[in-house]
Amino acid sequence: MKRVVLATRLPLQRAQEILQYRLSGIATVLRSAEPESLSEVTAVIAEPDITLRAEQLQHIDGLRHIVIPSAGTDNVDLQAAHSLGIDVCEVRELVRRDASDHTLALILAVVRDVRTGQFAAAHGQWDVTLTHPRQVQGTRLGLVGFGTVAEAVARGAIALGMEVRAHNRRGLSVDAAARGVRLAPDLRSLLAWADVISVHVPLTPATKGLIGMRELSAMRPGSAIVNIARGAIIDSRALRQALDSGHLRTAALDVMDPEPPPADHPLLHHAQVLVTPHMAWYSPISVLATYERVGDELRNILTRGADERLHG
């Protein structure tokens, strides 16, 4: 009997049960935050809270497949996996709706200056004049990156009356252009135009620190930034300086650098920063649907043989 490991620190008992049901008679499903400590493992399902680097992959005896049930592969050393003959894929389509919904929620929160109002009320200052909300209609939204999540965000934002532009190396889809999304010629012009910037690029060596002091300084005075991508894409120190100086009004972050953030992280309790715990991808319904898909894909690959590849 083959062994499949659900690698996570999260209490995803129901996901494990779904996998075991889908793989009944084919594989035993274990849950562990340290898959490298186990032997004879054919496949690992790596949640984003688990990191698999070269030294760990080398110690997982028999590993042939890694599945990441969310967007982004930065938690897995892809080069090492490839050199070891390990297939890596993402099953992310089912979490796109949740991610775009959460992004829109954070965008609305910064447009309406929710964090300032919440912080003031919690500290006994029941005074609306302390806040600086904008009207949603007419707000300029700039999207850094334009994958499937960003495109869904654009559709929702346009429906709410926002103007949307995007910076994307691959351009825009015909549908997005038809809906009114405009392509910014470069990142700097997008930053200078937008009232709110929303970050949607994957974390790679090229995008780490993509938004630093230079980029934040190029943003409009009083503007805001939203990040549901990866924490390291924005320079945390530079962001704090931009907020403390008053150049930026507020920020909403679903991701931090590092994760989980230490208790004294300068942005975690900042009066102008709304933080959520990397939950944009999550809802119980989408998690269960994702793991049903993962289980079915693994069943296919494990019954067809080691030369077949997963389809993400």
| Strand extents, DSSP E, the chain | 2-7, 27-32, 43-46, 65-68, 87-90, 140-144, 163-167, 182-183, 196-199, 223-227, 248-253, 273-275
Q: How far apart are CA 252 and CA 231, in angstroms?
A: 11
- 3-state SS assignment for residue 116: helix
Q: Which of 55, 93, 259, 308 is catalytic?
A: 259
278 has catalytic annotation: yes
Encode 31-58: b = buried (16+ Cβ within 10 Å), e = exposed: bbeebbebeebbbbbbbbebebeeebbe
Q: Which of 230, 249, 270, 293 is catalytic?
A: 230
Contact 33/8 with Cβ under 8 angstroms? yes
Q: Which amino acid is at 70?
A: S
97 has catalytic annotation: no
265 has catalytic annotation: no
Q: Which of 102, 278, 293, 297 is catalytic?
A: 278
Q: How far apart are CA 144 and CA 200, in angstroms?
A: 6
Q: How far apart are CA 296 and CA 224, in angstroms?
A: 41
Active site residues: 230, 259, 278
